[in-house]
Structure 1
Amino acid sequence: MSGRPALFLDRDGVINEDYAYVCRRQDFVFVEGIFELCRTARQRGYLLVVVTNQSGIGRGYFNETDFLALNDWMCRVFATEGCPIDAVYFCPYHPEHGQGEYKKDAACRKPQPGMIRQAAREHGIDLAGSVLVGDRESDIAAGLAAGIGRNILYDPAGSSSARPVKGASAVVQSLAAVQAYL
């Protein structure tokens, strides 16, 4: 598919510190370097797309309204920082721990590529020319399954050095290092 490339970002652990099921502004701490990375990506012609599993919704820890309110606030902060986000895709389902309608194995849940493919269709994204940044192997697997050209594992603690992550284009300990792959 031709079109513009995108910088695909996982949320918890890449955009914000992952304190497990973050759903309130007061618990949302931006990861150092996220705005600089996103401004650089925008300057280089990339769309900014967030793809995030949010099983906290399915588990009943918070609801979609809470998530959407936090998401709206997060997007306003990115716009204020000069790097507006083009789209956010989220998957509230979990195959084992979801409750009621949220208990299912959905094609949108990473490591499945559903959110990425939907973004590509809706925004005309060139997946082969795109970059994904995630902090889990499931993020990398989703990027590979979707055909994203460069899949970067963000590992600030350096814990993945003991075991290579299958298919990762690179493992970085800072978001500044991702700029070399744009």
Structure 2
Amino acid sequence: MKNAIFIDRDGTINIDNHYVYNINDFFFIDNVIHAMIELKKMNFFLIIVTNQSGIARGVFTQQDFIFLTKWMISYLQLYCVHIDAVYFCPHHLQGIVKQFKQNCLCRKPGPGMLLDAQKRFNINMTTSYMVGDTANDMLAGQLAGVGTNVLVCSGKKITKKTMNTANWVIKSLASLPNIIKKQRYRNI
């Protein structure tokens, strides 16, 4: 079985500029690319799991999202970072695009995206990590049986209630590789 880092996108990988769908509005958070390089060296699968309600709301199209995602993956490959998969949920009950106006299991806090990845890649969920900037990210990880749910403070404002949904609270994804290494060293 493989270990994975499930990573939310907006507010975790890139600055959350509210419905990011254009390359010109996509800015990586400081040092997250370096963190991804380190996590790959540690033999983790990197799997992005992201809610994209802007599709259902008609703010941007699924094609806009796919175009930006392909650009992001290509950009990361310049740094030898291989993203193993990207799962996204285009649904929202308040959507105006009929085909995406629905309730689903893939929209976080639902665990659908993580469980789909688990089946596809034979992931050991108890030794994997969910990293995100919201309580919904943490709850999705819990519902999917992820062993460690890591809340980053690089996105939305973090409340004490949100902090209580996480196993770890860290400043940014950039800190994660060193924290995992320290944790592994303690467990030897």
User: Which residue identity is paired with 1:77?
Assistant: Y
- The answer as to whether partners of 1:55 and 1:98 remain within 8 angstroms in 2 is no
Task: Determine helix, strand or coil for the equivalent of 2:5.
Answer: strand
Pick the aligned partner of 2:166 from 155, 160, 168. Answer: 168
> How far does the alpha carbon of each residue in 1:6-60 deviate from its partner, in whole angstroms, 9 at most, with x for none?
1111001111100000000000000112111111111111001000000001111
Other-structure match for 2:186: none
Other-structure match for 2:154: 156
> Matches of 1:113 and 1:169 in 2, distance apart?
17
Query: Any residues of structure 2 matched to 1:33-48 within 5 Å, and which?
Result: 33-48=31-46
Unaligned runs of 5+ in 2: 182-188
Task: Determine helix, strand or coil for the equivalent of 2:165.
Answer: coil
Pick the aligned partner of 2:101 from 103, 109, 118. Answer: 103
> Matches of 1:101 and 1:82 in 2, distance apart?
36
> Matches of 1:5 and 1:98 in 2, distance apart?
38
Relative to the length of structure 2, the TM-score reads 0.90
User: Which residue identity is paired with 2:149?
Assistant: N
Task: Determine helix, strand or coil for the equivalent of 2:149.
Answer: strand
Other-structure match for 1:49: 47
Other-structure match for 1:131: 129
Relative to the length of structure 1, the TM-score reads 0.93
Q: Size of the alignment, in residue pairs? A: 180
Other-structure match for 1:181: 180
Identity %: 37
- The answer as to whether partners of 1:158 and 1:173 remain within 8 angstroms in 2 is no
Query: Any residues of structure 2 matched to 1:24-39 within 5 Å, and which?
Result: 24-39=22-37
Structure 1 residue 176 displacement after superposition: 2.9
User: Which residue identity is paired with 1:83?
Assistant: V
> Matches of 1:164 and 1:55 in 2, distance apart?
21
> Matches of 2:113 and 2:69 in 1, distance apart?
16
Q: Does 1:69 align with 2:60?
A: no
Unaligned runs of 5+ in 1: none
Other-structure match for 1:15: 13
User: Which residue identity is paired with 1:61?
Assistant: V
Aligned Cα root-mean-square deviation (Å): 1.6
Task: Determine helix, strand or coil for the equivalent of 1:51.
Answer: strand
Q: Does 1:93 align with 2:84?
A: no
Structure 1 residue 178 displacement after superposition: 1.5
User: Which residue identity is paired with 1:13?
Assistant: G
Moved over 2 A (4+): 96-99, 156-167, 174-177
Structure 1 residue 160 displacement after superposition: 2.8
Structure 1 residue 168 displacement after superposition: 0.6
User: Which residue identity is paired with 1:135?
Assistant: D
